[in-house]
Amino acid sequence: MVNITRKSNSLRIAIATATVKVSKQETIDAIEQRKIPKGDVFEFARAAGLFGVKKTSDVIPDCHPLPIEYTAITYEIVGLTIIITVEVHTIYKTGVEVEAMHGASVTALTMYDMLKPIDKGVEIENIRLLKKSGGKSDLKNAKFPEIKTAVVVCSDSVFENKAQDTSGKAIIMRLEQWGINTAKYEIVPDETEAIRNKAIELNKAGFKLVIFTGGTGLSPRDVTPEAIAPLIDRNIEGIMETARRYGQERMPYAMLSRGVAGFIGETLALTFPGSKSGAEESMDALFPQVLHLFKVVKGEKH
């Protein structure tokens, strides 16, 4: 199974269709008049389709078990064709397109089974995904403005060449995945004045996004929040709340991170943990959706 532990829950919707074609009008009439010997085709097939949606992971090995929040199965008769539409919703880490298509196929097969005693020409013509939404795939083709970006590593040991930076380089790699080039990569010691001066310098240089990594914990030298918080004109609590919640679901100490986020003038400042895993988790939790801010601050609609 695909590893989805890095993904975040979001509303996922999928709509699939299947078509069942009969060979004579008498079959359609019998369906509409509820005169099929095996019972009400629409209701039996709908019930089977609901089971099909919920049991998808039981019969398709690579599908993740997931909570089904909503399913609707509807029908439309066009001539001798019955169009089945299955809509499935979940709030989870992965999509429900296979669940919707499986539900449509089971609905169609149930119809076929119920109709074949009176119509030997019944056919299932196609099963296909009509629409899906939710998750980061919705943003895959999103166009974000050119964002002048800097990454600043706050670490005494890295500054003194006693250790190698891993978190800053991990952030740069994650940014590249979303087409963002890091124009400046800096290393500063864990000193309030040094971190604050670097933030002011980058703001004056026109950087729109500055990510600080390191110094957000509770050790005596962790001073990044104290350095950055007084500079922030517009605090955005939800950003680091989201990052901490995401991290807490993966390791128990994420709640101890004191990172802050907000605008210093027109510069969005983010403060991430100094560990490679903490920085990567913060990136996974926030990107690319946080980039939407750069459209909102220009007055564009959500």
The catalytic residue positions are 113
| 177/196 Cα distance (integer angstroms) | 28
Q: Which two tokens stand for residue 223?
A: 């001073």
Q: How many CB atoms lie within 10 A of CB 263?
A: 18
| One-character DSSP codes across 107-131 | HHHHHHHHHTTT-TT-EEEEEEEEE
- Is the Cβ–Cβ distance between 282 and 247 less than 8 Å? yes
Residue 187's φ and ψ, nearest 5 degrees, are: -125, 130
Q: Which two tokens stand for residue 280?
A: 């990567």
| 167/75 Cα distance (integer angstroms) | 53
For residue 24, give every residue at least 6 positions away whose Cβ sits within 8 Å of its Cβ, in sequence order, or none: 80, 119, 121
Cβ contacts of 294-299, under 8 Å, gap ≥ 24: 294/144, 294/145, 294/147, 294/208, 294/268, 295/144, 295/145, 297/263, 297/266
Residue of 82, 66, 77 whose CA lies nearest to 10: 66
